[in-house]
Amino acid sequence: MANDFDKVSSSLGGAEADSARIDKLEAKVRHLSLISEALWIILRDKTGLTDEQLHKVIHAVEEHRKQRKDSKQNCHQCGMELPINKTKCIYCGAELDITNNVSPFDLHP
Ligand SMILES: [Zn+2]
């Protein structure tokens, strides 16, 4: 009986933990959105860039990210092909040279 209770309690705890994580993520997204909006207003008001120009920059970043997403590199140690954003080879563990055209926004260990 205690085991069944523990299982149910544990399962509820998992769902509650997931819900708490989702709540935290939603709060972070709202906060980041707030920061983005504030930065947008600062850029527009302090630099004189128009909303249209800022939209164009967002579109350009979006296109550049799409292009970078499919870029590949080869590990200097084992020769395996890897996504360009890896800092370590997933096959042999070698540290990879990140000085090639990798955006700091794309880097993943
Ligand atoms: Zn390798």
Domain coordinates in residue numbering, the chain: 2-49
Helix (H, G, I), strand (E, B) or coil at 73: strand
More confident residue, 4 or 27: 27
22 to each of 14, 16, 28, 45, 95, how far by Cα in Å?
Answer: 12, 10, 10, 34, 34
pLDDT of residue 64: 86
Q: Ligand 1 centre from 62 Cα, in Å?
A: 30
Q: Ligand 1 centre from 43 Cα, in Å?
A: 43
- Give the global pTM: 0.58
**pLDDT band at 51; cut points 50, 70, 90:** very high
Instruction: Determine contact, residues 92/84, Cβ cutoff 8 Å.
Output: no
Q: How far apart are CA 53 and CA 39, in angstroms?
A: 14
Q: Ligand 1 centre from 80 Cα, in Å?
A: 6
Q: 103 Cβ partners below 8 Å, 6+ apart?
A: 64, 65, 68
Q: Ligand 1 centre from 89 Cα, in Å?
A: 5
List pLDDT tens digits, range 80-103.
999 888 889 999 999 987 766 677
